[in-house]
Amino acid sequence: MTMTGQTSATTLGAEVAAAADTRTPQRRLRRSARSTGPLGTVARYLASAVVVVAALLPLAWMTISGFKARSEVVTSPFQFFPDIWYPQNYVEIVQDPAFMRALGVTFGGAILFATLSLTVNSMAAYCFARLDFAFKRTLWAIVLGTMFIPQMAILLTSYIVVTRMGMLNTLAVLVIPGATAAVHIFFIRQFYLGIPTSIEEAALLDGCSRWQIFLRIFLPLSKPVFVVVGITSFLAFWNAYVWPIMTITEPDSSLTQIQQYLATFRSERRVEYGMLLAGSTLAALPVIVLFLVFQRYIISGIRISGIK
C-alpha cells in the first residue's frame, strides 16, 4: 500500500470517529430535563436512587458479612451488621497462597480469553458484514442458529472432544473452547454494518487491501463495541465453574480457577460462610474495578448496539 493510501485510510477513520456523536450526553440530559420539568427530574433521580440501592445492597451485605463469624451469617432474626467485627476471614484468605494463585491465574486467563475472543469474533464479523463469498447466507444462518443451543446441551460432547485432543489440565482447555461466540459475532457485525461503505471504497481506491482496511479503519472505530464484548468475555471466563471443574482435575493444580477455590469452603456437612463471603468479596474487586474504568465505553457500546 502506498503512503497516500495509509494517510487517506487513517484520516477517513479519524473523521468518522469525530463525527460519530455530535451531541454530548450532558446536552441531551439538559434537553430531557427541560422537556420533563422539575417533577419529572425529581422522579427520575428517585427512581435511579432506588435502582442503585437495590443493586448495591447485596454487594454491601456480602462485604460486611465477610467480617462476621460463621454463626452470625446465618443468625435469626437477620441482622445486617455483626455484633463483633471479625476481620480474620479476610486476613486468612489473603494469606492463603492458593487463593492468590487462583486469583492471578484466573485474571490472566480471563485477559487471554477476552483477547482471543475479540480477535476471532471481530474478524468473523467483518467477513460477514463486508465480504461476499459462497454460501454466505447459509453460513450466517448456521452461526445464528448456534445462539439457540444451550451450553449444557453440548457440555458432554465438548468434554469428549478436548479429552481426545489431550487438552485436559492445560490452559488451552480453559481458553480455546468458547472463545468464538455467535452472539459476539452478531453484535460486532451489527456495528460494522453502520460504518459507511464509502470509507472502504475510498481506501480501496488508494490501494488498501481488505486486511489493511480492517486494521486501520474498522479496529480504531470499534473501541466501544470491543469494550462491551471484551468485558462480557472476561466475565464469562471469570465466573466459569462447571467447565473448569470438569477439565482441571489434578489436585492442587496451578490452573485452579477462583470459582473452584471458593467451592472448597462448601461441603455436604459444613459451609464456612464467613470465609466464603470474604473470598467472594475479594474475587469481585477486579470485576468492579474493570467496570469503573471502562464504564464510559460500556454505556457508549450499549447505545450504539441499537443503531441497526
Domains of the chain, residue spans: 3-304
Question: How do residues 141-183 score in pLDDT, each as one tens digit?
Answer: 999 999 888 888 899 999 999 999 999 999 999 999 989 999 9
User: What distance in Å separates the CA atoms of residue 205 and residue 220, rounded to the nearest whole number?
Assistant: 20
Sign of CA pseudo-dihedral 278, 94, 246, 271: negative
Angle (deg, nearest 10), helices 273-304 and 88-95: 80
Tell if the pTM clears 0.85, that is, is over it: no
Say which residue the cell 482471543 belongs to: 116
Residues 6+ apart with CB under 8 A from 64: 80, 81, 82
Q: What does the block give as the cell for 102?
A: 487462583
Neighbours of 178 (CB within 10 A): 17
Confidence of residue 302 (pLDDT cuts 50, 70, 90): low
- Type of residue at 246: M
Classify domain 3-304 at the CATH topology level. Answer: MetI-like fold (1.10.3720)
pLDDT for 13 beyond 70: no
pLDDT of residue 244: 93
Q: How far is residue 301 CA from its own chain's centroid?
A: 12
User: What distance in Å separates the CA atoms of residue 223 and residue 304, rounded to the nearest whole number?
Assistant: 11
User: What distance in Å separates the CA atoms of residue 116 and residue 183, rounded to the nearest whole number?
Assistant: 15
Cβ atoms 116, 93 nearer than 8 A? no
Q: Of 4, 9, 6, whose CA–CA distance to 218 is shortest?
A: 9
Cβ atoms 91, 66 nearer than 8 A? no
Q: pLDDT: is 77 or 7 the higher one?
A: 77
Mean pLDDT score, 257-286: 85
Percentage, residues of the chain above pLDDT 70: 84
Mean pLDDT score, 107-124: 95
Cβ atoms 270, 285 nearer than 8 A? no
Cβ atoms 255, 174 nearer than 8 A? yes
Alpha helices in the chain (DSSP H): 3-18, 25-65, 70-73, 88-95, 97-130, 136-145, 155-164, 171-175, 182-193, 197-205, 210-213, 219-221, 223-238, 242-247, 258-263, 273-304
pLDDT of residue 291: 84
Question: How do residues 234-248 score in pLDDT, each as one tens digit?
Answer: 999 999 999 999 999
pLDDT of residue 176: 93
Mean pLDDT score, 276-290: 90
Q: What does the block give as the cell for 167?
A: 487438552
